[in-house]
Amino acid sequence: MIQTIAIGCDHAGFIYKDAIAARLKERGIQVLNFGADSAESVDYPDFAHPVADAVEHGKAQMGIVLCGTGNGVAMTANKHQGIRAALCWTEEVARLVRQHNDANVLAIPARFVSEALALAMVDIFLDTPFEGGRHERRVRKI
């Protein structure tokens, strides 16, 4: 049961952050917001590191990070031990990264997906369980 999700973004990801936070709250999930809180230009690692840190240290069960392409925040989050940040651009990818990779951070490319798709990917990411089995062995090898 997911109780807390950490969220962070840069200026490019900021456009969807409030909508995503509202969706999480509707679902009864507590949101740890690490900013950014405006469209003013900032450096994405300053916001992705705190999200990854919160998941790494158990303050949140999962994280959501956003930037223009989703890559900068994913690269940053994946520097943390135990973080499996997945760049997602379709609903199917969001489902597969949970089923096969047990991803614990969703990275959204805000400049390349619609708000509706971003929200749909959030729902799928949260609702899809890890399949385990052969995937467990592979994830352990990461």
Instruction: For residue 71, state whether it binds ligand RB5 (rule: CB under 6 A).
Output: yes
> Residue with CB nearest ligand RB5?
72
Q: Where are the beta strands (DSSP E) in 10-127?
A: 30-33, 62-67, 85-87, 105-109
Nearer to ligand RB5, 75 or 93 (CB): 75
100 is catalytic: yes
**CB-based contacts of 117, cutoff 8 Å, min separation 6:** 90, 91
Of residues 35, 68, 89, 135, which one binds ligand RB5 by CB under 6 A? Answer: 68
* Closest separation in Å from C-beta 130 to ligand RB5: 27
**CB-based contacts of 45, cutoff 8 Å, min separation 6:** 72, 76
Which 3 state secondary structure label does DSSP give 39? Answer: coil
Token output for 126: 């949260």
Nearer to ligand RB5, 15 or 139 (CB): 15
Which 3 state secondary structure label does DSSP give 88? Answer: coil
Instruction: For residue 10, state whether it binds ligand RB5 (rule: CB under 6 A).
Output: yes
- Contacts with ligand RB5 by CB under 6 A lie at 10, 12, 44, 67-69, 71-72
Residues annotated as part of the active site? 67, 100
